[in-house]
Structure 1
């Protein structure tokens, strides 16, 4: 029997000596995301959230993932308006351009596609649809996020003798 002044526990088998291992979802939800992240980092975060969302059946985790995805899409809104840093311009530059290979499947711009993703995320957060509809909305959100990521990471610039030029021939700076 343990005394009140002792450090000995009466039932040592109750103590948990194993460290708590965080789940991948918990780690993902704790990952900070803000205005200091560049466009590709924000896109990667959006893709991680939607990847986890489509594979998850836990309502609490799904809500948390939707919340984080919506926040990431708001950060993306800012990132889309920010000029591209030199390291991303380099990643979006090719030596030889083949314009037909760089067209996106949708004729909408990045901001509109981001808004579509935000709207779907808000619908999922409201939880007013049937499980079947929720599954369809999640699948559509997954497809649109991946389409947005693919489009924004597609090369935009080509090296020429006179420097960099847009692959599409447009001379508008700051296009994503």
Structure 2
């Protein structure tokens, strides 16, 4: 800073403004999505976006959250097609199988459920529904994302004498 006996001038751009605490939404929106994330990390990100979306009334933040959720769901499309890494196979493996306790009773596969979530997200991004419809669509999206996460994180494999087997009793030709 300049003092009375100085010829130095003060540059306002050098003086830093007071730090503003960013909101949890802003921090969530800054969290990067990347190709290096595994299936569970992408699922966690989608779940965080929809959790924030269900609690938010700010249209701008809702649109941003929907955009991030849609990006996460698009990444999920490719993660569902990729082979599971060893660390996820380990997390999806149990020692003793109890088939009825793990998987959600869905009549559709995870790829189709992901498509339903994407369609609902796009519908919210179009911003053409009434506030009541938006609330219902957001609630349905929340439920479907959580169902998808629960289903995809449920154990799939059981340790057997010959290696891994599917909990459902199916053979494991190439683990995915």
Q: What TM-score, normalized to structure 2? A: 0.90
Residues 174/111 of structure 1: CA separation in 2 closer, same or farther (3 Å cut): farther
The unaligned stretches of length 5 or more in structure 1 are: 10-14
Q: Provide the residue aligned with 1:81 in structure 2.
A: 81
**1:4 Cα deviation from its structure 2 partner:** 9.5
Please state how far the C-alpha of 1:107 moved relative to its aligned partner.
1.3
For residues 174 and 138 of structure 1, what CA distance do their matches in structure 2 show?
Answer: 34
SS in 1 for 2:158: strand
Name 1:7's counterpart in structure 2: 10
Between the aligned partners of 2:11 and 2:137, the Cα distance in structure 1 is 55
Count of aligned pairs between the two proteins: 169
Which secondary structure does the structure 2 equivalent of 1:105 belong to? coil
Indicate yes or no: 2:21 matched with 1:21: yes
Q: Which residue of 2 aligns with 1:62?
A: 62
- Offset of 1:145 from its aligned partner? 0.1
Inter-partner Cα distance in structure 1 for 2:23 and 2:103: 38
- Partner of 2:39 in structure 1? 39
Q: CA deviation at 1:8?
A: 8.3
Distance 1:4 1:113 in 2: 69
User: Where does structure 1 differ by over 4 angstroms across 4 or more consecutive aligned residues?
Assistant: 2-5
CA 1:174–1:77 in structure 2 vs 1: closer, same or farther (change >3 Å)? farther
What TM-score do you get using the length of structure 1 for normalisation? 0.90
Deviation of 1:152 (Å): 0.1
Structure 1 distance, partners of 2:97, 2:47, is 27
1:128 aligns with 2:128: yes
Q: Distance in 2 between matches of 1:97 and 1:122?
A: 38
1:80/1:111 contact within 8 Å kept: yes
